[in-house]
Structure 1
Amino acid sequence: MNKVVTDIERTHFAPKDFSDRIAYMTVRFMRFFADAFFAGRYGHRAVVLETVAAVPGMVAGNIQHLKSLRRLKDDDGWIHTLLAEAENERMHLLTFINIAKPSTFERFLIIIAQGMFYNGFFLFYLLSNKTAHRIVGYLEEEAVHSYTEYLEGVDSGKYENVPAPQIAIDYWQLPQDARLREVIIAVRADEAKHRDVNHGFANTLTDG
């Protein structure tokens, strides 16, 4: 069985330049609307936001792939890391649709949000891949924060600790009697890893 990290440090990368501040303000703007719309409905929040979270890795991976082909140079492992991140976020989505059934309106919202974010992130990445990775780093900081609040709600009894979906048990190799609490812990650990990787990518691009 895979070892799931249970203690996650809620770190924050302090913006250091104009690019970082643009990335941070962009994410805070997105967070404002997420908080206003979902108002503590963390299961439904996860369904909608994970459809957005799975976009950056795929977009960045594709652009890095084309860049590697054009320059006839190795990508230093970035492509694999980014595509693996996109797949991991997609598994988060497939897990949470078994926990919080999205309404017709939320399915419509998913289409709109994904379309807007895909095109916006694509342009961000072409203009400044450093800013784009910093945006993802800040998005993942917010994800760690949100899943921590979700976990606290489960522990306090605010949200029912339902049985974990079989897809989550298989993917994270959880015990067959695993519950929602174990799923949240596993997802939060993934998000913390994506946070650190993308801030690391941004730092690498800053240093040239």
Structure 2
Amino acid sequence: MATLLRIDSSAAGDNSKSRQLANEFVEKWQAANPEGQVIVRDVNANPLPHFTSETLAALFTPEAERTPAQKDIVTIGDELIEELENADVVAVSAPVYNFGIPSTLKAYFDYISRAGRTFKYTENGPVGLVKKDAYVFTASGSFLSGTAMDHQTPYLKTFLGFLGLTVKETFIAGGQSMGEPGEEAFTKAKNEIAAAF
């Protein structure tokens, strides 16, 4: 049975265009995989603690020497990584907030990025250990994709690739605060999702 891990991060709830694009994808994925399972990780509804000196100390403390609080911190990442490892496909939806991804999504990325587990260092540089396909769904108020101000989609592709995931496609709905051009971009992204199946 195939498993799709869906990671949502927009604070806009059902009004989120990035979530709506992910909805389109998940609906078509489920139609193509009727026995498949969808796991939802909503980092807005259930935000993770931000990565701090305490987090770092917990990770670098030998397991046998960790305090109960440190064990709890490490367990957060362990569970997230296991969830990611058990998925066959990953779908990430993210809006653009102040030229980047939401801090809640960045916190999630910080927890799943772990040397020796999701990537490893080699003499030729880091190598990702999470080998699976990923799809990205983004939305922004203006048209940033492909411009010098787009710090979102390149980052998402770089980070996911760093862990070993292959971003098969990125579906982008720019101009969502610009009326008709934004509506056209959203429709175009939905049509691209439909064509992917």
> What TM-score results when the alignment is normalised by the length of structure 2?
0.28
Q: Answer 1 or 2: which has greater strand percent.
A: 2
